[in-house]
A and B are shown apart, each in its own frame.
Chain A
């Protein structure tokens, strides 16, 4: 991929993450390579259990260990490998340089702390400023996401789901992070609120120049706000490219299947076309291509060995034998 250090805010190389339990080793992330350029929004798409959240939490190193273990790879953020950092150095990065928005706003806020205090806490942690200054900035952040600052002293249960997610966004952006990881920020919200939240994120991102990793399984969200897309399947990136490349010329059979399963407004077909089968058990991954079982174009070759990532056009990568992954 792109090797220009200054261009890339985040580079993930060969990341491997496992969950170890007494019964099995679950291979959640298997050799993921990703690049996020400065100021861009990368969409990370995949179905439930594909390893999206695990990647996100690995970047911040907030995976619970045990049972999880980062077994290998590098996560280079702004030229520094986060894997080599001490815990206290990581604490300075969390929240200040890299912030995260969580999937479920209902549980992401501490139920017994005032929301304003939860925001100003992050600010006070990373800036040597007086308490009232942190509080002022926290109220500004609230206003920025469209919540009147009079509600600073209220508790999470007094807010609706969409408002809570905006509080979470305000909290994440409070320290002007260089990288924002949004882990399915709209999944738990209803559709009208989804658009609202995405709009807020989009405008804040433009104003603050933040790079974003948008984790989602909603292709509509990706189409709306991402400049490049990585499709993840069973802990591997199977297709990666700019949004135009992936949306207009989906190449990996899984990506094609994803688009094929979307309902089309102008079609007369009575049923959706889902991808048949289920994702392989991450505790027991096949030796060959992990999509082999469900692939409509599976060949003999596919069950024996894993295809390699190939660049089929400038910046568009696919992991499939059909596109030359065997050479």
Chain B
């Protein structure tokens, strides 16, 4: 987890180093004299060597200080906290919605394999997987906001404002989960232990939901982790389309304005959040799958011995 965060920050720092654009020039404008310009560069620390700047950022970040924005001098950390709640709410809502829709739909498709319903579900999922979320966003704005006029096209002033950004993200994720759930279920149902369960005289319901589902859902947990990462990224796009004052918008603004503290601070923050979520996913694995749990236990025992 820590190497991942370090790696991400290092890559971001390298990109900043090699990306064109000069924040000092942007801030000071073209009319300033060469002395003023150089004084500003010194003040911003832009002329320091790469590693000095990188470790200065890292050291400050660990103390919870991401620095101040180059342009409006507001502390980045406070800004991130204020904006992050929009992003995390959209990401969490869309992932939850995707799981709630995708898992049952996948089970349904698997248990009705080769029927019209299954084909319809799979065709729908294929469409939703293939379409980018911003395209959904635009379609939905057109339909719900312009044609029907029941939902606001942008901004979050009332609770209805959350619906479209969340939906536009959730559709693609739900489709991914549906497809995965269906194929897992179909694979598990062919396993020998399902035949064993059947030979015990269990009802189809018990076979399906006690023996098959639990095994089929394990890989889904992994996928949900990946999807959550995509949701954090995808939320940025949704935020821009729907004018939500979230972290994505902030980061994008920082990127275009070469406001390095914002870029570095928010990627650092996002990578910490993502790592924590991956950790939770791994713990969730151990909770469901005893094979992984005993791996943990064995390692702990070995450590105690050595």
A interface with B by C-beta (< 8 Å): 57, 60, 62, 64, 91-96, 99-100, 102, 104, 107-113, 121-122, 125-126, 155, 157-158, 168, 171
Contacts and interface: CB of A to CB of B under 8 A. Distances in A.
A107 B192 contact: yes
B209 interface: no
A158 B200 contact: no
Interface in B177-227: 190-193, 195-203, 211, 214-215, 218
Contact of A125 (B192, B200, B289): B200
Contacts of A158: 294
Interface of B: 190-193, 195-203, 211, 214-215, 218, 288-291, 294
A62 B200 contact: no
A121 B202 contact: yes
A225 B294 CA distance: 39
B200 A121 contact: yes
A109 B198 contact: no
Given A91-B201, A96-B201, A107-B192, A155 B215 contact: no
Contact of A102 (B192, B201, B211, B288): B192
A60 B291 contact: no
Contacts of B218: 112
Given A112-B290, A155-B290, A92 B215 contact: no
Given A102-B195, A104-B192, A113 B211 contact: yes
Contact of B196 (A109, A112, A155, A157): A109
A171 B193 CA distance: 12
A119 to B, nearest CB: 9
A181 to B, nearest CB: 9
9 contacts: A57-B195, A60-B198, A92-B201, A96-B201, A104-B192, A108-B195, A112-B288, A113-B214, A121-B202
Contacts, number: 75
Given A157-B291, A157-B294, A107 B193 contact: yes
A67 to B, nearest CB: 12
A100 B211 contact: no
B200 A171 contact: yes
A112 B199 CA distance: 18
B218 to A, nearest CB: 8
A171 B198 CA distance: 12
DSSP majority for the B interface? helix
Nearest to B190: A64
A40 to B, nearest CB: 22
A112 B218 CA distance: 10
B201 A125 contact: yes
By Cβ-Cβ distance, the 3 closest A-B pairs, closest first, are: A95-B201, A94-B201, A107-B192
Given A157-B294, A158-B294, A125 B214 contact: no
B215 A110 contact: yes
A94 B198 contact: yes
B104 to A, nearest CB: 20
A99 B218 CA distance: 30
B290 A110 contact: no
Contacts of A126: 201
A93 B218 CA distance: 32
B215 A111 contact: yes
A125 B199 CA distance: 12
A279 to B, nearest CB: 24
B258 to A, nearest CB: 51
Given A155-B290, A157-B294, A109 B193 contact: yes
B290 A62 contact: no
A95 B199 contact: yes
A113 B202 CA distance: 15
Given A93-B201, A94-B199, A155-B291, 15 more contacts: A60-B199, A64-B190, A91-B203, A92-B201, A102-B196, A107-B191, A109-B196, A110-B193, A110-B197, A110-B215, A111-B291, A121-B200, A122-B202, A125-B200, A126-B201
Contacts of B290: 111-112, 155, 157
A168 B196 contact: yes
Contacts of A100: 199
Contacts of A122: 200-202
Nearest to A88: B203
Contacts of A60: 198-199
Contacts of A125: 200-202
B160 to A, nearest CB: 42
Nearest to A119: B200
B199 A62 contact: yes
Contacts of A168: 196
A157 B295 CA distance: 11
A65 B124 CA distance: 27
Contacts of A113: 211, 214
Contacts of A155: 290-291, 294
A64 to B, nearest CB: 8
Contacts of B215: 110-112
Contact of A62 (B190, B195, B214, B289): B195
Contacts of B193: 107-111
A96 B201 CA distance: 8
Contacts of B190: 64
B51 to A, nearest CB: 47
Given A112-B288, A157-B290, A94 B200 contact: yes
A110 B201 contact: no
Contacts of A62: 195, 198-199
